[in-house]
Structure 1
């Protein structure tokens, strides 16, 4: 299964007892899944959400088999635009998750942060960009994908054939003229001309909490039973 997008987040939150933490976590998973169902138009996917107290640290992943990703891309006609549409859908539901988590765990918008890794959707887009820039040939790009995906590539010959055809047909970027000139003087570092920042004060540690739980909630496939595992970290 391919990792389409992974989102990590951290939010300051009040302490919860075990039952409340499990309840809010399960509610968050269900709310997020409803958004995925509505906006990520793939025939099948897997969802995983891991949350840990102290405050709330979360990690969520959307996975799909290559065949499902191929179907989702093909639903939008052109391969490259379809790939971009699936990417936008994945980004959208990932952003929603962060807002839902803050709401579910009673957090203000100023007290948290999030980051997202692109996964295989971004990887494919970068493969196209490298071919268009002349860094890779289409054959080299396909070999790169086969090596990275392994069995997923073998089990989805239709996807690989379509990918190869679109890599061959992708318009190449025009060659850029170099603007470098060794005779030009280096520009001064503007930051070094300003006042040097003073030492940063260390961030005070979070107060100890009486309990520390970690919960993992996942659904292996669309329509399959939701699973939950709650463990005490310390």
Structure 2
């Protein structure tokens, strides 16, 4: 199975009594499981949540087989559109876990530190962008897909075939397109083409009376 999303969080609170800690962990997982069931449009998936005692540290992961991901993507028409929608759903349910993890401690000064990752789905979307920019060939992107999913990619024939077709058909960015950069504040800025101002007309040099125009015969 491929990990398609993960949430790591840390809450700097004092250690909870054992029973309270167990209740907190079980309730958090039940809430997250119910939310994922409503929001994530995949026919099958796996959830795991590991919570450590002390200052609360935990990681929640969502995993699914490539065949299942392929079925989920197929609900939305194109491979690329389906990939983006499923990835968005994963981000939503990952964010929910981070929010609910900190809910019981809102009265404390400890602010949860949450980090979300799209895992294999994010990496797959990055491959499409690199192909569009001309940074990777389709063959190179497929080789990178093998590294992302391992042997499961070869076992999921439909997923692999559709992935390659989609990479081959993805439109390339025009070479003259201004690509976004990040400034010091993380905002996007763009490289604009410099437009040269037209030069003002130059006065013609005077014509002398020896048959020359400047340095040339007239």
Q: TM-score, normalization: structure 2?
A: 0.76
Structure 1 residues without counterparts, runs of 5 or longer: 180-188, 190-234
Shift of 1:163: 0.6
Residue 105 and residue 50 in structure 1: after superposition, are their counterparts in 2 closer, same or farther (change >3 A)? farther
The 2-side partners of 1:15 and 1:34 are apart by 27
Change in Cα spacing, 1:158 to 1:171, as seen in structure 2 (3 Å) is same
Residue 84 of structure 1 corresponds to: 84
Task: Say yes or no: does 1:57 pair with 2:57.
Answer: yes
Q: Find the aligned partners of 1:14 and 1:177 in 2 and give their Cα distance.
A: 53
- Closer, same or farther in 2 for the Cα pair 1:129/1:43, shift >3 Å? same
Aligned to 2:39: 39
1:5, 1:90 within 8 Å by CA — same for their partners in 2? Answer: yes
Query: Any gaps of 5 or more consecutive residues in structure 2?
Result: 185-218
Q: Could you tell which deviates more after superposition, 74-83 or 119-128?
A: 74-83
Name the structure 2 match of 1:19.
19
Kept in 2: contact 1:7–1:61 (CA 8 A): yes
Cα distance, 1:110 vs structure 2: 6.1
Return 161-170 or 48-57, whichever deviates more. 48-57
Q: CA contact under 8 A between 2:12 and 2:110: conserved in structure 1? A: no
Residue number in structure 2 paired with 1:193: none
Secondary structure, aligned partner of 2:114: strand
CA contact (8 A) 1:2 1:65 kept: yes
Q: 1: CA distance between counterparts of 2:83 and 2:107?
A: 34
Distance 2:109 2:41 in 1: 29
Mapped contact 2:45–2:65 kept (Cα < 8 A): yes
CA shift for structure 1 position 167: 0.5
- Report the count of equivalent residues: 180
Instruction: Tell which has more relative contact order, 1 or 2 (C-alpha 8 A, sep 6+).
Output: 1
Partner of 1:155: 155
Moved more, 138-147 or 128-137: 138-147
Rounded to whole Å, the distance in 2 between the matches of 1:52 and 1:32 is 17
With over 3 angstroms needed to count, the CA separation of the structure-2 counterparts of 1:24 and 1:106, relative to structure 1, is farther
Q: 1:131 to 1:27 in 2, by over 3 A?
A: same
SS in 2 for 1:146: helix
Do 2:48 and 2:60's aligned partners in 1 also have CA atoms closer than 8 Å? yes
Do the aligned partners of 2:120 and 2:148 also contact (CA within 8 Å) in 1?
no
> Matches of residues 1-234 of structure 1 in structure 2 within 5 Å?
1-104=1-104, 111-176=111-176
After TM superposition, the score normalised by the length of structure 1 is: 0.71
TM-superposition CA deviations, 1:71-93 (whole Å, max 9, x none): 11111112111111111100101
Report the Cα distance in structure 2 between the residues aligned to 1:29 and 1:54, rounded to whole angstroms. Answer: 18
Deviation at 1:12, TM superposition (A): 3.1
